[in-house]
Every structure is written in structure tokens, then in C-alpha cells.
A and B are shown apart, each in its own frame.
Chain A
Amino acid sequence: GAGVSQSPSNKVTEKGKDVELRCDPISGHTALYWYRQSLGQGLEFLIYFQGNSAPDKSGLPSDRFSAERTGGSVSTLTIQRTQQEDSAVYLCASREPSTYEQYFGPGTRLTVT
């Protein structure tokens, strides 16, 4: 079946612009995660959605970052007034409800110029 998909695959934006990154999780996966992967920094947790519960936003680095998940499926990560330090690969993952395995998407490579 289809895996986690993310769009766009690459995004180049100018400093100060807003960007939206999209994640389509695997159907039936109620938990969805956003991470950021920077060179040499490993995986940085951003936000976690679990069903209808309030999201765990503890990883969002600033109030310029926000995310929503509509209808328990598609999620959008929004970065306002982008800065050069926001340049990274943004990864989305959804979790299989019975095995608890996380399946990762291919990521969106964001470059802020």
C-alpha cells in the first residue's frame, strides 16, 4: 500500500516568507509526527498528533512554527517569516496503531536563502 507522502519534496524560499509543508499519513494511522533533520543534528522532534487528543507541541522551536491536522488525516506544518536556520529536511511519520512502528515519509528539503 501507499506509504507516507510529503510535499513538496524540495522548497527554496526567501528569508521572511511563509511556507507550508504537507504530510499525508498512511490510512488508518492515528498518530502523526513531525521532525526536523539538520546536518549533524540528528532528528529533532517538533510536534505529535494522536487521534483527537491535544497535540504535543513541546518540540516546536518558536512561535513561528505551527501545525494542524485536519480530519485526523492530512497534516500541514507552517513556518512563518522563515529564517536561514530553518533550513533542514522536515520529516513526517505516522504510527501503525497495533505494532507502534513509525513509518517515515521522504521528507521536504527546505532551503531558506
Chain B
Amino acid sequence: AQSVSQHNHHVILSEAASLELGCNYSYGGTVNLFWYVQYPGQHLQLLLKYFSGDPLVKGIKGFEAEFIKSKFSFNLRKPSVQWSDTAEYFCAVNAWRGSTLGRLYFGRGTQLTVWP
């Protein structure tokens, strides 16, 4: 069965610090990769996605992620975090089986707390 691992359960940073959240998945085939964010009291929303092409993808609010196929990883990065980035971050993977796209698998989430 597929799985998605997020290495950090809770990350605490000061403003302007750099961020990297790890995400690894276990599926050898073609995948679509996502990072979602949930700000306090709000819906889950898409931060960025990778389907194909350039493995370095840029999302909203200065976030980026790099797909490294050989490592089955899709780590999220931001060079300088802000207090407003305090939220929970979820990595998710959709696997293709032939021409069929299966369900989305989510990691357990990483709570990011940024101190001003």
C-alpha cells in the first residue's frame, strides 16, 4: 500500500528563518504531488503541485518544492518565513495506475509555528 511520510510533526521557527519540511512517499510509478496548507480556522487550500516537467515548482506565498524522483521526496521550502505562515502543512500524493488516477494519500501533517 502507498504511504506518505512527513518527517516533522511540529516545527517552530522565528520570523525570517528558512523552512524545509520533508515529505517522502512510497510508490514507484507516476505520481502527482501536492502540498496543502490549513491556516487556523480555515479550509485546506492548495499551496503548490507537481505533475511533470521542471522538478522545482513554485507555489503561492513564496513557497517552493522540489521533486526528487530517486529519493521519492517532495520537500517544501521557503527561504524566509513570516508569522502569517503559521499553519498546518500536508503533503499528498496521487498515483497513476495505467490511465486511472487513484485516491489522494495524505501525510499526517506538520504544524508550523512562527514566532514574531
Nearest to A102 among chain B residues (CB) is B104
User: Complex: how many Å from CA A93 to CA B36?
Assistant: 13
| Interface presence of B32 (CB below 8 A) | yes
Determine the main DSSP class of B at the interface with A.
Answer: strand
Stretch from A21-29, A40-48, A61-69 that touches the partner: A40-48
Report the minimum CB–CB distance from B62 to chain A (whole Å).
20
B29-65 CB contacts (< 8 Å) to partner A: 32, 34, 36, 43-46, 49, 51
Q: Are B46 and A101 in contact (CB under 8 A)?
A: yes
Name A99's closest neighbour in chain B (CB-CB): B49
The main secondary structure of chain A at its interface with chain B is strand
- How many B residues touch A, CB cutoff 8 Å? 21
> A residues within 8 A CB of B34?
101-102
Please name the residue on chain A nearest to B51 by beta carbon: A100
Chain B's closest residue to A3 (CB) is B43
Q: Is A106 an interface residue (CB 8 A)?
A: yes
Per the 8 Å Cβ criterion, residues 80-106 of A in contact with B are: 91, 93, 99-102, 104-106
- Contacts A91-B44, A106-B43; A42 near B109 (Cβ below 8 A): yes
Contacts A100-B32, A100-B94, A100-B101 given; does A43 touch B43 at CB 8 Å = no
- A99: chain B residues within 8 A (beta carbon): 49
B107 within 8 A of A: yes
Q: Which residues of B contact A (CB under 8 A)?
A: 32, 34, 36, 43-46, 49, 51, 90, 92, 94, 101-109
